[in-house]
Amino acid sequence: MSELPRASDLGLIGCHVCRMVCRDVKAPDAACPRCGSPLHKRKSGSYTRTWALLIAAFMFYLPANILPIMRTVSLGDVDDNTILSGIIELWVKGSPDLAVIVFTASIVVPVLKFFALGLLLISSQRGSQWAQRQRGKLYRLVEFIGYWSMLDVFVVALLTALVQFGFFSQVEPLPGVVFFGLTVVITMIASMTFDPRLIWDGRDSDD
Amino acid sequence: MTMPSQGLKPALAPPTLWICEHCDTVYRRRKLARGEVARCVRCDALLARHHSIGVRGMFVLVITAMIAFVQANIWPIVTLGLNGHQISATLWGCIMIMWREHAQVVAVIAALTLFFLPIVKMGFLFWILAYARQRRRAPGFRWIMVTLYRVGPWTMSEVFVLGALVAIVKAHMYFEVQANPGIFAYGVLMLIITAFSSIDVRRFWDLTEETPA
């Protein structure tokens, strides 16, 4: 394994934007000669930025789950739903299979993202060599599934547009849905800010 | 001190290498056989794959996606009925009502990820591919490719399709629900997005040749 050459050892940098292989001129403002994007050996300030974004996302995630995301008014009856109560309603009255999909997208995926990114950050900062391949796969999973969490936000938007029968039945969005949308956006940015190459960098090549 | 003439521009290494984006391992490039996928030995990430869809195929896909996108946006997606009253929803209907109902953040997210950014993506791909058919680089190639890369993860039409499905099932508990042409157009769009998802647009850098300005 160790004889596989790494770009940073060979004095090379791969451009993220166009995959051009460039020589590392060790200048802070080096740019890719092909696409003009800035070249970095590693994404700059990856640990600090990812931590900051992850904590910010978590602070939005709490109200997203505690506050109701949607209000249903029918014949004067007011019913506020949180993400979880909406899933339970879907399970009980509608279709359990869709309830599982929504549960995965709205609860499992965000929680997984917090744990996964937290784990990746801590283990990489400690220069851990534990399960590097698996940690790499975990990162790619987080990147791939991240945006599906927007599902519930779009469901609320559609139901609000559809259920406009005045006194008989009406759906309104509530603040929870705004917090949830922001959580998804911020966790997406957090996973983009994390540099997966840090998983492989070991203890002393952290820069 | 380095001489100013040496500049800050890095010299080009010959385009014979792949660098794994996930662990920084360097590989010599090789031609891939039909259907072959090259993976990193160290971290198992995708290095490159053989593309079965050529430039012409992609061009046709993008045009189909544009037609489906227009259809998906002009036709209603779902219609609800209650006591003879009927209400239909389109994407823009959803965006406008979220804005009015004090969820402007959601309205902006939806407008960007479901309308504006998909348009930017399809339009730019159309432009690049129209020229790439003659192995040429379209005017503005450089910044368009950079923009395409940045826009990449921020289009969510396929999530919206699943959302429509969930909304239909939820509404079905209380109302008469009717699926409209919009949802089928979205279905087509979702299929095309899936076909396109395996394509790394960054290969256009290699597929086209630089024309001296």
When scoring A8, A10, A13, A19 by the number of chain B Cβ atoms within 10 A, the one with the most, hence best to mutate, is A19
Same domain, A35 and A68: no
Question: Tokens for B90?
Answer: 């389109």
Q: A107 CB contacts (<8 Å, ≥6 apart)?
A: A83, A84, A87
How big is the A-B interface in CB pairs under 8 Å? 233
Contact B78 A158 (CB under 8 A): yes
Q: What is the pLDDT of residue B147?
A: 95
* Domain count along chain A: 2
Give the mean model confidence (pLDDT) for residues A136-150: 93
Closest approach of B144 to chain A, Cα-based (Å): 10
Residue type, A49: R
**Inside any domain, residue A205:** no
Distance CA B98, CA A160 (A): 8
User: Which own/partner pairs from A94-102 qualify as long-range (CB within 8 Å, at least 24 positions apart)?
Assistant: A94/B169, A94/B170, A94/B172, A94/B173, A95/B169, A98/B165, A98/B166, A98/B169, A101/A151, A101/B162, A101/B166, A102/A151, A102/A152, A102/A155, A102/B166
Residue of B nearest to A27 (CA): B8
Q: A160 CB contacts (<8 Å, ≥6 apart)?
A: A70, A171, A172, A173, B94, B97, B98, B101
Q: What is the pLDDT of residue B15?
A: 65
Q: What is the pLDDT of residue B2?
A: 36
Q: What is the pLDDT of residue A207?
A: 42
Q: Which of B8, B83, B166 sits opposite A155 (nearest CB)?
A: B166
- To which H or E segment does residue A59 belong? helix A46-66
Residue of B nearest to A20 (CA): B15
Instruction: State pLDDT tens for residues A155-169.
Output: 999 999 999 988 888
Q: Which residues of A touch B11 (CB under 8 A)?
A: 22-23, 25
Q: Which residues of A touch B25 (CB under 8 A)?
A: 4-7
**Inside any domain, residue A207:** no
Q: What is the pLDDT of residue B9?
A: 45
Distance CA B65, CA B21 (A): 29
Q: Are strands B26-28 and B17-19 parallel, antiparallel or unpaired?
A: antiparallel
Same domain, A98 and A18: no
Question: Tokens for B197?
Answer: 């998802």
Closest approach of A94 to chain B, Cα-based (Å): 7
When scoring B39, B41, B43 by the number of chain A Cβ atoms within 10 A, the one with the most, hence best to mutate, is B43
**Inside any domain, residue A126:** yes
**Inside any domain, residue A149:** yes
Q: What are the boundaries of each domain within chain B?
A: 14-50, 55-207
Distance CA A159, CA A172 (A): 8
Prediction ipTM score? 0.89
The CA-based angle B80-B65-A181, given to 5 degrees, is 55
Residues of chain B short of pLDDT 50, as ranges, are 1-14, 212-213
When scoring A154, A180, A192 by the number of chain B Cβ atoms within 10 A, the one with the most, hence best to mutate, is A154
The enclosing domain of A140 has a CATH number of: 1.20.140
Q: Does A108 lie at the interface with B, CB-CB under 8 angstroms?
A: no
Same domain, A130 and A66: yes
List, as ranges, residues 98-137 from B with C-beta within 8 Å of A.
98, 101-103, 105-106, 109-110, 113-114
**Inside any domain, residue A162:** yes
Q: Which of B110, B145, B165 sits opposite A35 (nearest CB)?
A: B145
Residue type, B58: M
Same domain, A126 and A149: yes
Contact B169, A95 (CB under 8 A): yes
Q: What is the pLDDT of residue A2?
A: 55
Residue of B nearest to A25 (CA): B10
Contact A173 B98 (CB under 8 A): yes
Give the mean model confidence (pLDDT) for residues A119-140: 93
Contact A150 B165 (CB under 8 A): no
Distance CA A69, CA A107 (A): 14
Instruction: State pLDDT tens for residues A176-206.
Output: 999 999 999 999 999 999 999 999 987 544 4
* Cβ neighbour number for residue B194 with a 10 Å cutoff: 10
Show the domain range for A193. 45-200
Same domain, A98 and A162: yes
Higher-pLDDT residue of B92, A40? B92
Instruction: State pLDDT tens for residues A60-100.
Output: 999 999 999 999 998 888 999 999 998 998 889 867 888 99
Q: What is the pLDDT of residue A205?
A: 46
Q: B211 CB contacts (<8 Å, ≥6 apart)?
A: B136, B137
Q: Which of B12, B162, B170 sits opposite A33 (nearest CB)?
A: B12
Q: What is the pLDDT of residue B213?
A: 44
Contact A160 B98 (CB under 8 A): yes
Q: What is the pLDDT of residue B31?
A: 85
Same domain, A131 and A36: no
**Inside any domain, residue A137:** yes
